[in-house]
């Protein structure tokens, strides 16, 4: 069942696309549209376009598109009903009492309830004799009772099924507990056992205050075959690549920028010391989605990962991901300790603030790292360091930054700036050429069809293009509907996806509705909505007339005839059938 159209229409009017998108994306006005960096893929030049006139958006880079509901679905990782509810809350509208399928919403609510009950169970264990080992662990890490309560920290007992029995006692079913990833199925029987056992527990909370997942650290590490950390797998309420630990607190911090730390304990220690702008990835390598999420709340990131070799590699990888967001990047070197947690314990919050104040930008960090690798008191060491520094500067697209740092390095090493800049420019041009070749090779090796929404288009290109033109013509001029429908029906379309869009569009027009993009979002997936908006935008470049309709219909019906002949004919007479159809088409011209 669909939400009533009248409700969706009012929702659309109260949530104009520019105001919805601008809460997440910095937009710049460009004539009658607005543009910005796409929040759904990484890019350096803005290809994400907002169309106020049609209350829609479209990215020419990745093909994402839709209405405000589709945007919220993608950006907040919600299903259709949840996105409608989100926008209704945003503008003070009450959801209809009934008339729509909210099965997924109800499942998510149940999992939120289970997770909240589990978090409460883990936290209460700290007060029990069995849970004292967990409380002792947190005290050894110098966490206060206030901090433990603030983050809802807890302990999962060693028992195989303590949490499972507790949740069953609260009335939750096996299936729901399993979908929350709190239990695992036994291989030898039909029973279940707790996923987290003998671990310090860290609830992961989303931006709306819901417990969505857990991280667990093994306290007794004598058995090296047992993983030190385990984390919830993806569930209907959790996708780890899109979530950052403690962002629910950090987004409201008064400190400038956001500190990106290594793990749960680093973040908690930083918050306890007063740096409540710290976050961490949740048991996964830092992702593009997390970078785009951070860019909604700050324009500056301070990267402070572990000082060991693995931490330095992670830092370099994270810097490259963050660059695509356009945020200012600074890198904190935690000298004298392996991580921020240890540094604060040894030297205090004041010294850590001094480190933050002196944090280098990403270029300075890489130059410093290159110098640290070599003995620059020797000529060989200087030469090796200069080569690596030149490589660092050649990766910088900003010519002013290249010139500034080249001058500084030349002065420090006592070499000619002109010679150094020539060397860097050679490397810079070589990099651009290599990137261009890689792009060309990638395009050459790309599969013929990358259209996941309409894969049939690959084998029916002419028909699919004609179908899209028919759809665009109807979007542009709904008065053509009766004429078009008299010539061609949805079953005549060659590609299934375009046929679905045509049928739905005809149903709207038949019922006297304007073919507004917002009507489609309840029936089509976000990926499909991007395709529909792309077709919708084609209307702007079309001359709407019946001759175009006739030409498109002729192509579609002709291709449909060929397809039917190919489906029904045997191999022996397939070619003859095609010839007869082709001759017939030629004769009609």
182/234 same-domain check: yes
Asked if residue 563 is part of any domain, the answer here is yes
pLDDT tens, position by position, for the chain (589 residues)?
Answer: 468 888 888 998 899 999 999 988 889 999 999 999 898 887 778 899 999 989 999 999 889 999 999 999 998 888 888 899 999 999 999 988 766 667 778 898 999 999 999 999 999 999 999 999 999 999 999 999 999 999 999 999 999 999 999 999 999 999 999 999 999 998 877 889 999 999 999 999 999 899 999 999 999 766 667 888 999 999 999 999 889 999 999 999 999 999 999 889 999 999 999 999 999 998 778 988 899 889 888 989 999 866 667 777 888 889 988 887 878 999 988 888 888 888 999 999 999 999 999 898 889 988 988 898 899 999 999 999 999 999 999 988 888 999 999 999 999 999 999 999 999 999 999 988 888 888 677 655 555 446 788 998 888 889 999 999 999 999 999 999 999 999 999 999 999 999 999 999 999 999 888 888 888 988 899 999 999 999 998 887 777 788 989 999 999 998 877 766 655 554 445 455 545 555 554 555 4
The conformational region for residue 293 under phi > 0 = left, psi -120 to 50 = alpha, else beta, is: alpha
0.85 exceeded by pTM? no
Asked if residue 272 is part of any domain, the answer here is yes
Asked if residue 450 is part of any domain, the answer here is no
Domain holding 517, by residue range, is 455-588
pLDDT at residue 129, as a whole number = 95
Asked if residue 293 is part of any domain, the answer here is yes
DSSP readout, 241-288? GG-EETHHHHTT--SSSEEEESSHHHHHHHHHTT-TTEEEESSS---H
386/464 same-domain check: no
Looking at 445, 467, 499, the residue that finishes a domain is 445
269/191 same-domain check: no
74/162 same-domain check: no
Q: Residue with structure tokens 């003998």?
A: 198
CB 287 within 8 A of CB 225: no
- CA–CA separation, 424 and 44 (whole Å): 22
- CA–CA separation, 525 and 531 (whole Å): 10
Asked if residue 97 is part of any domain, the answer here is no
End-to-end CA separation in angstroms for the chain: 47
pLDDT at residue 576, as a whole number = 56
227/146 same-domain check: yes
467/567 same-domain check: yes
52/118 same-domain check: no
User: Residue 129 is part of a domain; what is its CATH number?
Assistant: 3.90.980.10
pLDDT (tens digit per residue) in 356-392:
998 988 899 889 888 988 999 999 999 999 999 999 9
398/498 same-domain check: no
pLDDT at residue 117, as a whole number = 98
List the one residue out of 471, 478, 495 whose CA is nearest residue 552. 471
Asked if residue 558 is part of any domain, the answer here is yes
313/411 same-domain check: no
401/469 same-domain check: no
pLDDT (tens digit per residue) in 401-416:
999 999 999 999 999 9
Handedness of CA 464, 491, 454, 546 (dihedral sign): positive
Asked if residue 80 is part of any domain, the answer here is yes
Give 576: exposed, middle or buried? Use CB within 10 Å, 0-12, 13-18, 19+. exposed
410/377 same-domain check: yes
User: Residue 28 is part of a domain; what is its CATH number?
Assistant: 3.90.580.10
pLDDT at residue 302, as a whole number = 95
User: Residue 347 is part of a domain; what is its CATH number?
Assistant: 3.40.1360.10
Looking at 319, 343, 358, the residue that finishes a domain is 358
Number of structural domains the chain divides into: 5
pLDDT at residue 145, as a whole number = 96
Q: Residue with structure tokens 């270029």?
A: 363
Asked if residue 96 is part of any domain, the answer here is no
Looking at 204, 238, 272, the residue that finishes a domain is 238
Handedness of CA 148, 149, 152, 154 (dihedral sign): positive
251/335 same-domain check: yes
User: Residue 502 is part of a domain; what is its CATH number?
Assistant: 1.10.860.10
Reading the block at residue 13, the tokens are: 């009017």
């Amino acid at each position: 069942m669909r939400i009533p159209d009248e409700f969706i229409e009012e929702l659309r009017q109260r949530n104009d696309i520019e105001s919805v998108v601008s809460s997440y994306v910095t937009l710049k006005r460009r004539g009658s549209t607005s543009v910005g960096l796409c929040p759904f893929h990484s890019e350096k030049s803005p290809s994400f376009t907002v169309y106020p006139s049609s209350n829609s958006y479209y990215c020419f880079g990745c093909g994402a598109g839709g209405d405000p509901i589709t945007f919220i679905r993608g950006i907040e990782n919600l299903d259709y009903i949840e996105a409608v509810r989100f926008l209704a809350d945003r503008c003070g509208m009450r959801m209809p009492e009934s008339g729509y399928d909210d099965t997924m919403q109800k499942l998510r609510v149940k999992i939120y309830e289970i997770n909240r009950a589990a978090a409460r169970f883990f936290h209460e264990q700290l007060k029990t004799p069995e849970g004292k080992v967990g409380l002792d662990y947190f005290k050894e890490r110098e966490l206060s009772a206030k901090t433990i309560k603030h983050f809802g920290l807890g302990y999962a007992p060693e028992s195989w099924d303590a949490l499972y029995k507790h949740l069953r006692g609260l009335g939750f079913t096996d299936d729901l507990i399993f979908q929350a990833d709190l239990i695992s199925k036994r291989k030898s029987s039909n029973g279940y056992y707790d996923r987290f056992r003998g671990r310090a527990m860290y609830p992961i909370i989303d931006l709306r205050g819901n417990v969505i997942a857990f991280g667990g650290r093994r306290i007794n590490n004598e058995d090296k075959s047992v993983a030190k950390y385990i984390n919830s797998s993806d569930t209907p309420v959790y996708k780890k690549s899109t979530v950052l630990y403690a962002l629910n607190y950090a987004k409201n911090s008064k400190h400038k920028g956001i500190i990106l730390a290594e793990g749960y304990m680093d973040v908690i220690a930083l918050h306890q010391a007063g740096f409540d702008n710290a976050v961490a990835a949740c048991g996964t390598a830092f992702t593009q989605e997390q970078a785009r999420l951070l860019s909604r709340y700050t324009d500056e990131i301070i990267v402070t990962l572990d000082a060991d070799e693995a931490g330095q590699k992670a830092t370099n990888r994270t810097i490259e991901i963050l660059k695509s967001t356009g945020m200012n990047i600074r890198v904190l070197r935690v000298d004298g300790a392996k991580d921020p947690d240890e540094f604060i314990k040894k030297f205090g919050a004041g010294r850590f603030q001094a480190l933050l104040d002196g944090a280098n930008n990403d270029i300075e960090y890489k130059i410093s790292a290159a110098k640290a690798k070599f003995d620059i008191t020797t000529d060989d060491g200087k030469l090796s360091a200069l080569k690596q520094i030149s490589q660092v500067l050649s990766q910088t697209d900003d010519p002013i930054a290249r010139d500034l740092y080249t001058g500084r390095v030349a002065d420090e090493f006592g070499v000619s700036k002109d010679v150094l800049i020539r060397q860097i420019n050679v490397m810079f041009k070589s990099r651009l050429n290599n990137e261009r070749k890689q792009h060309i090779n990638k395009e050459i090796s790309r599969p013929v069809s990358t259209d996941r929404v309409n894969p049939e288009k690959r084998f029916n290109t002419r028909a699919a293009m004609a179908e899209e033109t028919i759809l665009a013509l109807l979007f542009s001029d709904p008065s053509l509907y009766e004429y078009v429908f008299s010539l061609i029906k949805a079953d005549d379309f060659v590609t299934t996806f375009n046929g679905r869009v045509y049928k739905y569009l005809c149903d709207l027009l038949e019922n006297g509705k304007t073919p507004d993009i917002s009507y489609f979002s309840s029936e089509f997936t976000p990926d499909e909505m991007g395709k529909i908006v792309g077709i919708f935008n084609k209307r702007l470049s079309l001359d709407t007339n019946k001759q175009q309709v006739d030409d498109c219909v002729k192509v579609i019906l002709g291709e449909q005839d060929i397809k039917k002949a190919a489906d029904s004919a045997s191999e022996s007479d397939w070619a003859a059938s095609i010839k007869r159809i082709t001759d017939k088409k030629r004769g009609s011209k």
